[in-house]
């Protein structure tokens, strides 16, 4: 076991104008931070490289919505200006329905650099707009008959656009089903909703719009391919950096033909666009988790993840003529949507105590310069000490966690601990799903262990993802891997005299919730738990959609049937939480979305029968990810109050729910729980 990166992170203290007034951020402070870009990035450089455009998202809790603004700023730095209002959030959709996550959307420059095109959401309608940089009013280009899904510039005056099924037809279909009933289709998912899923994938259309006249014509196959963003590199599914002036293309692909492009066995290649010879980078650094490449003359700058558990972001430069590599930068940070501007790389950047901002990196020295920080007031908050804990699980897989120290930490004193899962990269906001605000929890007096779960980095190079998932599920090593890593981290806190082993709480969303339910039924480590996702239950197989079952069957998984030849029957029996409810002693709070709550009722009923302390909240209209700001803040506050009640004996009234404190006291008194 090694403890590293502590010196670099422990000394992070931002300059404050009034040191005495500094306080830890609250949950609302965290939620209302302005966010730049989208999940993958969202920076858009102008064709001449002189400007960059990006969306800024403001979370408005009182209005219970979001406001997107389109910003433009010089790529050399300066004050950005808002050139358009882009409306509200657009939710990512799937054939099974919305997930609650925001759809990735980035502004797109016209080829001549005079205009930006972008999507807006207002009153449930998604439209396409265009705005000029000269300050003239934005122009509405496409609004219906269905919502805009994707678009691409063809030239300065033409777009290829894909829209959803017409809104009136979707409404009519819903009304018809309500009146006379409906036959479930392959995407009908009973546990999520007993209403039909809108068959939007059937009615999608693609067309080309001429901007001067706003006339439309059907898109041809080549134009449709532009919507798919097909790469021009020799290998499919690769990251590309193209330099037309040099007539070259650079791509990342598997080193061995036939390997999966998603495995770590990747390499970096360069070739001439006219079919010239291919050069492969020979250095060991040109492998592993490579996440992008950019051409700087005779050097190819590339990004990779490395360090224990691949927790560090590194930039390297490959001189393809000499076939030599040197490292430019290696930090505990995340870089998103990087683009080239002259001799610098411009990125969206986050680090454990730094919310997302726009920076530039000198590709010669690795020096970082801040170009724009949308949250300058963040510097006024108290910044906690952070250490990094690195462990190996029982199977040798590496993982790490950021350990955030409690406000006012005093050496020699043991504190309660809250575990937050299951990724810990970039800014320490609230774990995956965002429901457990890490820094406000530290401000309440907890050590917060922000865990980045281990991965099968060795096995995944030799097996397909389906084979790996099946093998590690059937032999139970997936559960044991995560459990052993967590146990090793908590043992280290105890060894260092930091934690109170009797006061450890665990939280979890999605994969983190799977770990939580396994942990509270297979160990006595945790004194309290808060889950944001329903437990695994056998009903999941029958209440899921037919298409989802077929996808699982195609990967080798089967339902809980007890036939002698079904190896998955034991998996369902082992992971269906209600079958092991007698083992649950930790007080459990479940904050569940309406679309997922139905599978939680078997466990909730059984815990009630066993007289175990638990509470359950349902969030109407929520999906896997809670996307409404007011609901997300309410879930965060309930989670922190539940942890305080059981771990610290702190009792808080909820003004929005009179009687909650009496109910929790009754749970404690009736069950005799600590």
- Give the pLDDT confidence of 354-370 residue by residue, as tens digits: 999 999 999 999 999 99
User: Which pairing describes strands 35-36 and 51-60: parallel, antiparallel, or unpaired?
Assistant: antiparallel
CA–CA dist 419, 523 (Å, integer): 15
pLDDT of residue 237: 38
| Residue 183 among the catalytic residues | no
Percentage of the chain lying above the pLDDT 90 cut = 72
User: Which pairing describes strands 299-306 and 312-319: parallel, antiparallel, or unpaired?
Assistant: antiparallel
CA–CA dist 137, 133 (Å, integer): 10
Return the structure tokens found at 149: 């899904």
pLDDT of residue 240: 63
| Mean pLDDT value across the chain | 89
Contact 349, 359 (CB under 8 A): yes
Return the structure tokens found at 492: 């280290």
Helix (H) or strand (E) holding 531: strand 528-531
Helix (H) or strand (E) holding 478: helix 477-495
Note the pLDDT tens digit of each residue in 522-545. 999 999 999 999 999 999 999 999
As a whole number of Å, the end-to-end CA separation of the chain is: 33
Where b means 16+ CB within 10 Å and e means fewer, 86-97 reads bbbbbbbbeebb
Q: In degrees, to the nearest 5, what angle opens at C-alpha 617 toward C-alphas 531 and 527?
A: 40
CA-wise closest residue to 453 among 407, 509, 385: 509
pLDDT at 639 over 80: yes
Note the pLDDT tens digit of each residue in 8-55. 443 333 333 344 458 999 999 999 999 999 988 999 999 999 999 999
Split at pLDDT 50, 70, 90, the class of 246 is: low
pLDDT at 167 over 50: yes
Select which of 76, 169, 510, 523 is catalytic.
510
CA–CA dist 54, 272 (Å, integer): 32
Contacts of 442 (CB under 8 A, 6+ apart): 24, 384, 404, 405, 406, 407, 448
Note the pLDDT tens digit of each residue in 507-517. 999 999 999 99
**Residue written as token pair 């209002």:** 85
**Can you tell me the mean pLDDT for 557-581?**
93
CA–CA dist 666, 670 (Å, integer): 6
Q: In degrees, to the nearest 5, what angle opens at C-alpha 504 toward C-alphas 501 and 505?
A: 170
Return the structure tokens found at 606: 């059984």
Beta bridge partners of 392: 398
Beta bridge partners of 270: 250, 279
pLDDT at 198 over 90: no
Query: Any long-range contacts for 620-623 (C-beta under 8 Å, 24+ apart)?
Result: 620/594, 621/594, 622/100, 622/593, 622/594, 622/595, 623/91, 623/97, 623/98, 623/99, 623/100, 623/593, 623/595, 623/596
pLDDT of residue 310: 94
Select which of 35, 162, 390, 596 is catalytic.
596
Which of 119-128, 231-240, 260-269, 592-601 shows the lowest mean pLDDT across its residues?
231-240
Return the structure tokens found at 405: 């120290």
Return the structure tokens found at 343: 């001799």
CA-wise closest residue to 650 among 475, 476, 433, 503: 503
pLDDT at 201 over 60: no
| Residue 477 among the catalytic residues | no
Q: Count how many residues are written for the chain.
A: 674
Split at pLDDT 50, 70, 90, the class of 256 is: low
CA-wise closest residue to 312 among 465, 511, 452: 452
Q: Quick one: how far is CA 204 from the chain centroid?
A: 27
| Cα-based distances in Å from 203 to 11, 120, 373, 519, 639 | 56, 21, 42, 45, 42
Q: What is the CATH number of domain 383-537+576-671?
A: 3.40.50.1820
**Residue written as token pair 């360090």:** 307
DSSP code of residue 645: I
Which of 254-263, 312-321, 400-409 shows the lowest mean pLDDT across its residues?
254-263
Beta bridge partners of 488: none
pLDDT of residue 270: 82
DSSP code of residue 169: H
pLDDT of residue 20: 44
pLDDT of residue 199: 60
Note the pLDDT tens digit of each residue in 397-411. 999 999 999 999 999
Instruction: Indicate the domain borders of the chain.
Output: 383-537+576-671
| Residue 594 among the catalytic residues | no
**Entry pTM:** 0.91
Return the structure tokens found at 413: 């004193």
Select which of 308, 402, 580, 624 is catalytic.
624
Contact 520, 485 (CB under 8 A): no
Split at pLDDT 50, 70, 90, the class of 287 is: confident
User: Which pairing describes strands 344-351 and 354-362: parallel, antiparallel, or unpaired?
Assistant: antiparallel
pLDDT at 4 over 50: no
Contacts of 349 (CB under 8 A, 6+ apart): 333, 334, 335, 336, 356, 357, 358, 359, 368
Note the pLDDT tens digit of each residue in 368-396. 999 999 999 999 999 999 999 999 999 99
User: Which pairing describes strands 499-508 and 528-531: parallel, antiparallel, or unpaired?
Assistant: parallel
pLDDT at 278 over 90: no
pLDDT at 486 over 50: yes
pLDDT of residue 239: 55
Q: In degrees, to the nearest 5, what angle opens at C-alpha 19 toward C-alphas 15 and 21?
A: 125
**Residue written as token pair 């908590």:** 490
């Amino acid at each position: 076991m090694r403890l590293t990166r502590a010196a670099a992170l422990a000394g992070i203290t931002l300059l404050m104008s009034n040191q005495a007034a500094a306080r830890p951020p609250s949950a609302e402070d965290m939620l209302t931070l302005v966010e730049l870009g989208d999940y993958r990035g969202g920076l858009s450089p102008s064709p001449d490289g002189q400007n960059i455009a990006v969306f800024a998202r403001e979370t408005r809790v009182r209005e219970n919505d979001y406001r997107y603004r389109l910003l433009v700023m010089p790529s050399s730095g300066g004050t950005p200006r808002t050139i358009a209002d882009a409306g509200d959030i657009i939710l990512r959709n799937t054939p099974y329905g919305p997930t609650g996550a925001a759809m990735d959307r980035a502004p797109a420059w016209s080829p001549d650099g005079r205009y930006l095109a972008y999507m807006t959401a207002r009153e449930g309608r998604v439209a396409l707009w265009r705005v000029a940089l000269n300050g003239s009013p934005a122009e509405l280009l496409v609004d219906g008959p269905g919502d805009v899904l994707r678009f691409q510039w063809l030239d300065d005056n033409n777009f290829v656009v894909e829209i959803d099924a017409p809104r009136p037809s979707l409404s009519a279909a819903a009304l018809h089903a309500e009146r006379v009933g409906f036959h479930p289709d392959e995407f009908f998912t009973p546990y999520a909703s007993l209403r039909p899923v809108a068959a939007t994938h059937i009615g999608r259309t693609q067309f080309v719009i001429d901007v001067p006249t706003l006339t439309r014509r059907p898109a041809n196959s080549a134009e449709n391919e532009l919507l798919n963003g097909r790469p021009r590199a020799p290998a499919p599914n690769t990251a590309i950096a193209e330099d037309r002036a040099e007539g070259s293309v650079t791509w990342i692909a598997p080193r061995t033909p036939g390997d999966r492009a998603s495995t770590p066995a990747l390499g970096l290649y360069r070739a001439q666009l006219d079919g010239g010879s291919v050069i492969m980078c020979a250095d060991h650094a040109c492998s592993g988790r490579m996440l992008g490449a950019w051409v700087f003359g005779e050097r190819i700058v590339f990004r990779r993840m490395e360090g224990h558990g691949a927790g560090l972001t590194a930039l390297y430069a490959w001189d393809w003529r000499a076939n030599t590599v040197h490292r430019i930068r290696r930090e505990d940070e995340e870089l998103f949507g990087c683009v080239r501007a002259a001799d610098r790389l411009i990125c969206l950047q986050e680090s454990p105590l730094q919310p997302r901002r726009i920076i530039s990196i000198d590709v010669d020295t690795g020096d970082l310069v801040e170009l724009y920080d949308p949250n300058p007031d963040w510097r006024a908050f108290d910044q906690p000490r952070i250490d990094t804990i690195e462990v190996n699980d029982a199977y040798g897989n590496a993982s790490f966690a950021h350990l955030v120290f409690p406000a006012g930490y005093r050496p020699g004193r043991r504190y309660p601990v809250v575990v937050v899962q299951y990724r810990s990269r970039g800014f320490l906001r609230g774990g995956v799903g965002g429901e457990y605000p890490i820094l406000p929890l530290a401000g309440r007096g907890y050590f917060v262990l922000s865990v980045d779960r281990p991965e099968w980095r060795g096995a995944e190079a030799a097996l397909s993802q389906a084979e790996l998932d099946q093998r590690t599920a059937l032999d139970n090593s997936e559960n044991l891997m995560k459990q052993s890593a967590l146990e090793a981290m908590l043992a280290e806190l105890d060894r260092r005299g930091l934690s109170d082993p009797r006061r450890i709480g665990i939280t979890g969303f999605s994969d983190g919730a799977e770990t939580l339910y396994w942990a509270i039924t297979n160990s006595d480590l945790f004194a309290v738990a808060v889950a944001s996702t329903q437990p695994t239950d056998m009903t999941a197989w029958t209440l899921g959609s037919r298409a989802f079952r077929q996808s699982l069957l195609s990967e080798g998984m089967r339902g809980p049937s007890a036939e002698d030849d079904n190896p998955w029957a034991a998996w369902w029996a082992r992971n269906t939480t209600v079958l092991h409810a007698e083992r649950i002693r930790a007080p459990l709070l479940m904050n569940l979305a309406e679309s997922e709550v139905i599978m939680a009722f078997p466990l909730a009923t059984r815990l009630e029968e066993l007289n175990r302390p638990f509470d359950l909240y349902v969030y109407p209209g929520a999906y896997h990810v809670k996307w409404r700001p007011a609901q997300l803040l309410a879930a965060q506050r309930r989670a922190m109050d539940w942890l305080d009640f059981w771990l610290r004996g702190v009792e808080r009234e909820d003004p929005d729910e009179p009687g909650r404190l009496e109910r929790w006291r009754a749970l404690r008194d009736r069950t005799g729980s600590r």
